[in-house]
């Protein structure tokens, strides 16, 4: 069972879901949401990381639009609302909120000082920007959208970044994938895996494009990456 914490910024305060491991201090991981808010999928991922020995925290990044968004991808109305939230979201402010979350959890008595990040979909783009713009020690991006427009920021990377790309991603076309791979595949801080036959959100358990085999592979790679870079 997780807990709630409040993170303060110059613009106001927002909540985050926290799951604690069985021992402390431990490295922390910031879980960066999809377009559905801090929903059960995100809470389950956060709980799962705690089960792997990490102090995990999932901040409510939609708080500036509407606090407490918790929807799914199971109905047309919810999908419509999710894309409205996506279009209204301020990416720059969101990265600032992630930086605040990193600072907040790094000061937690249960954190050993190391903090990583993992994000999905919108969160995949934000995980990339977390790697380029914050002091996160290691970041993982799952099927990040819009990254083809962000690759120039890779010159600012000083910590490791792991990327998962779905080869049949409807929101990251082949041309966009080509731009991302050409720009980043030889970067010394970047590790990239592509997943043949997989569509967007292949790791979202219960989702329309969930691929258990690919999800297990990607999640295993992410845990190995975190163990190597966070301890």
Question: Catalytic: which of 60, 73, 169, 209?
Answer: 169
73 is catalytic: no
Beta strands in 47-110 (DSSP E): 55-59
Burial of 102 (0-12, 13-18, 19+ CB in 10 A): buried
Pairing state between β 3-9 and 26-32: unpaired
SS3 152: helix
Please, which contacts does 1-9 make with residues 24 or more away whose CB atoms are closer than 8 Å? 2/43, 2/46, 2/47, 2/50, 5/57, 5/104, 7/59, 7/97, 7/100, 7/101, 7/104, 8/100, 9/96, 9/97, 9/100
Structure tokens at 28: 């922390």
Nearest-Å Rg of the Cα atoms of the chain is 16
Structure tokens at 149: 């427009």
Distance separating alpha carbons of residues 173 and 165, to the nearest angstrom = 11
Question: Catalytic: which of 104, 164, 200, 209?
Answer: 200
Distance separating alpha carbons of residues 164 and 141, to the nearest angstrom = 6
Burial of 178 (0-12, 13-18, 19+ CB in 10 A): exposed
200 is catalytic: yes
* Catalytic positions: 169, 200
């Amino acid at each position: 069972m997780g807990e709630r914490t409040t993170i303060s910024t110059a613009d106001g305060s927002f909540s985050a879901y926290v799951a604690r491991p069985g021992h402390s201090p431990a490295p922390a991981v910031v879980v960066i949401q999809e377009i559905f808010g801090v929903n059960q999928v995100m809470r389950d991922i956060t709980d799962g990381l705690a089960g792997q020995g990490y102090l995990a925290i999932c901040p409510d990044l939609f708080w500036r639009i509407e606090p407490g968004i918790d929807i799914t991808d199971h109905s047309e109305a919810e999908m419509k609302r999710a894309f409205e939230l996506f279009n209204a979201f301020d990416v720059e402010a969101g990265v600032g909120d992630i930086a605040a979350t990193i600072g907040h959890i790094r000061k937690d008595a249960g954190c050993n000082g190391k903090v990583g990040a993992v994000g999905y979909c919108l969160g995949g783009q934000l995980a990339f920007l977390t790697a380029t713009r914050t002091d996160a020690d290691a970041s993982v991006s799952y099927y990040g959208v819009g990254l083809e427009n962000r690759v120039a920021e890779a010159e600012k990377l000083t910590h490791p970044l792991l990327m998962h790309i779905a080869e049949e991603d409807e929101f990251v076309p082949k041309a966009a994938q080509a731009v991302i791979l050409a720009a980043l595949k030889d970067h010394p801080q970047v590790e990239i895996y592509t997943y043949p036959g997989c569509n967007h959100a292949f790791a979202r358990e219960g989702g329309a494009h969930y691929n258990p085999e690919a999800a297990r592979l990607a999640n295993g790679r992410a845990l190995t990456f975190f163990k190597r870079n966070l301890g």
